[in-house]
Amino acid sequence: MHRHDCFVATGGHGNLKIMRIVLGSDHAGFEMKQDLLKFTRDLGHETIDVGTNSTAPVDYPDFAEAVAHEVLIGGAERGILICGSGVGASIAANKIHGIRAGLCHDCYSAHQSVEHDSINILVLGARIIGPELARDLLKTYLGAKFTAEDRHVRRLEKIRKIEAKESRA
């Protein structure tokens, strides 16, 4: 498989801020999650594994909720969520107030989604991308920082207002 080198905002994993990262997957993402748990630890981060624990069929919304919960309560600074395509897990996670989950299968989106949109969960599709690209995307995501530029802050505030309005409906 061709190796996809990603832009890492910090210039390399040696400069990454050490964080606590929560990882979760359904059965389709189990093997990728296991690989990324080790890779995340090898980068020096702490990890929280909220399951699943095998390739036996399970429902992705349960793990989307578990990852989101850890991020929202402050148990983890960022989350990684994996299912077959990434789509279902992304939809489920984004139903949770305060979660900004981004499905990223390319390097640009993996850093830009943090820098501009302040995503707090990276979603990956294990049936869409291979392990090398997944590692590169994870490293890029973890190395990126929100820019806090006025235009991005303004847009996030609009998203918060939409969430607040919808929660009252």
Query: Catalytic: 107?
Result: no
- Cα–Cα distance for residue pair 30/79, rounded to 1 Å: 15
| Catalytic residue from among 6, 45, 83, 107 | 83
| Catalytic residue from among 4, 69, 116, 152 | 116
- Cα–Cα distance for residue pair 119/125, rounded to 1 Å: 17
Query: Catalytic: 116?
Result: yes
- Cα–Cα distance for residue pair 47/147, rounded to 1 Å: 25
Q: Which residues pair with 102 in a beta bridge?
A: 122
- Listed in sequence order, the residues at least 6 apart from 130 whose beta carbon sits closer than 8 Å to its beta carbon are 1
- Cα–Cα distance for residue pair 166/163, rounded to 1 Å: 5
Q: Which positions are catalytic?
A: 83, 116
